[in-house]
Structure 1
């Protein structure tokens, strides 16, 4: 996201962190990322979307007015192809689905459809409200808008199919930002937080990942916060980064001590 330091947003996010389980509720795992490798990353990227494609290339969507783009690179940091977003738009999440890619805009209500190879724009779709994060389950798209609800979307037309609420210990949780779909689970960065939530198919949070130990989280600027989680296909590892971070961390998730 961009600057969203409203009192309401801060209050909504202030309760994130370690959670306790209410009587009768399923236990919520407390996890941390353990760094196993560090990869170079473009520190000019105001990261809004992060995804690893099946071939191992990295798909990155960036934000900021007049500077938003989408690009593909190798894990070693070599940029392969890039496409600028209309300069009037503020770019948000991206995801690949089959032969096309969708890129969200923040407050413009426009999703840009792109060719998977060239990244050229091949269409647009409108949606109500804001766009934050996006991922593909392989059957449909999941989109966040900053609220405690996630939207289910048709992957070809971007038509909304439904919504479901995300709850932690039975209470709705807002601030859901960059998304990653992995099997039946959805991983969500929490805006203005170093937490990542693992969300089950019913919308209940099943794990809270405390990523405050990643080195670049020392930055106090809200425009340099953690934002970007991508699963490495065929492994149990993830890539994590943030806005204008110089590093991309390859991690394994482990129980918090």
Structure 2
């Protein structure tokens, strides 16, 4: 790019950024401001009072208020409105007021950060049974269906999709991915299995019974492909951030999203996903936490720390334990068994979660 063009582009970008952050209208007419101040945090359930301040000599004909793309209402004066937040998905919310006065209209914007209403309930766990797990399996996706484990493994040249015997940990059937692909999350959807890839922007569709590749699709949802699960109607995927996307189960196109927050901040690196009894279970990459997430709002409802499930003292010292971390959640709905494992771990654990003392 020509250096003069670069300078011009940079100047324009800085100017645009500055204008978007000062709570002032896009037009340089009347000096309107809006509250609350940009970046103010609220808890879900809090009432947010929004008010536009106008010059003393300005009488508005009407003020239209928007939350993101949703119209909240119309006011005839600058007294403001109140926003109820108990059912709003969490995260950064843009508030826009469009002021009509003197035959002109101008917009003024701000934003808030909506957090979970309360701290997540802390859970504890009990190991009920231990099963063998293939130590060559860099586990990225895991699901229990039809009496077997469906597992997606990663690493270029070693990525697979496989069926695994729960009792023995032995591979019953598998399909290898091309050497250029890094396998990620998977989900069983009807008579098919869907598998993501890490950065290759490709998704695979397999026959559930034979694991024969049926088709591929372009996956441009999110910055990377990570975890995946299915609630019977739609797919959920994530991408290394705190965002969980909704996908159409037939077209694999995005239909919506939630952002994951607890009562203090966003929770990044949401990874392997499992849908259990109306909630999303997710591990946090390179941490020992499993989160229970509200799929409607993104609020972290519960959290369990599994750091001692595979004690460091009992692990071989020649392994890359900073990389071979907890990753893999599966649920047997018929018997209510919950399974967890990790990348190249020798064990898969059946656990029971209960409230912490």
Task: Bin the TM-score by the shorter chain.
Answer: 0.7 to 0.9
1:27 Cα deviation (Å)?
Answer: 5.0
In 1, the alpha carbon distance for the partners of 2:310 and 2:271 equals: 21
**More relative contact order in 1 or in 2 (CA 8 Å, sep 6+)?**
1
TM-score normalised by structure 1 residue count:
0.87
* Pick aligned residue for 1:227 from 327, 335, 338: 327
Counterpart of 1:204 (choices 278, 299, 302) is: 299
* Secondary structure of the structure 1 residue equivalent to 2:323: helix
- Report whether the alignment pairs 1:88 with 2:188: no
Q: Give the 5 Å matches for 1:68-83.
A: 68-76=159-167, 77-83=169-175
Pairing 1:171–2:271 present: no
Query: 1:122 and 1:216, CA in 2 relative to 1: closer, same or farther beyond 3 A?
Result: farther
Consecutive aligned runs of 4 or more in structure 1 exceeding 6 Å deviation: 21-24
Q: Which residue of 1 aligns with 2:151?
A: 60
Please identify the structure whose Cα radius of gyration is greater: 2
TM-score (norm 2): 0.63
Partner of 1:167, secondary structure, is: coil
> Residue 86 of structure 1 aligns to a residue in which SS?
coil
Deviations along 1:54-88, whole A, 9 cap, x unmatched? x2210110000110001102211232210001210
Q: Quick one: distance in 2 between partners of 1:33 and 1:63? A: 27
Structure 2 runs not aligned, ≥5 long: 1-42, 47-116
Deviation (angstroms), 1:121: 1.0
Q: How many residues align?
A: 236
1:30-50 CA-to-partner distances (Å, cap 9, x unmatched) read 012210000111111000001
Q: Does the alignment pair 1:162 with 2:256? A: yes
* Residues 115, 217 of structure 1: alpha-carbon distance in 2 compared, 3 angstrom cutoff: farther
Asked whether the 8 Å contact 1:237–1:253 carries over to 2, the reply is: no
Give the conservation status (yes or no) of the 8 Å contact 2:125–2:304.
Answer: yes
Unaligned runs of 5+ in 1: 1-20
Query: Which stretch of the first structure deviates more once superposed, 198-207 or 162-171?
Result: 162-171
1:204 to partner: Cα distance: 0.5
Distance 2:170 2:294 in 1: 35
- Measured after TM superposition, the shift of residue 205 of structure 1 is 0.6
Q: 1:30 to 1:236 in 2, by over 3 A?
A: farther
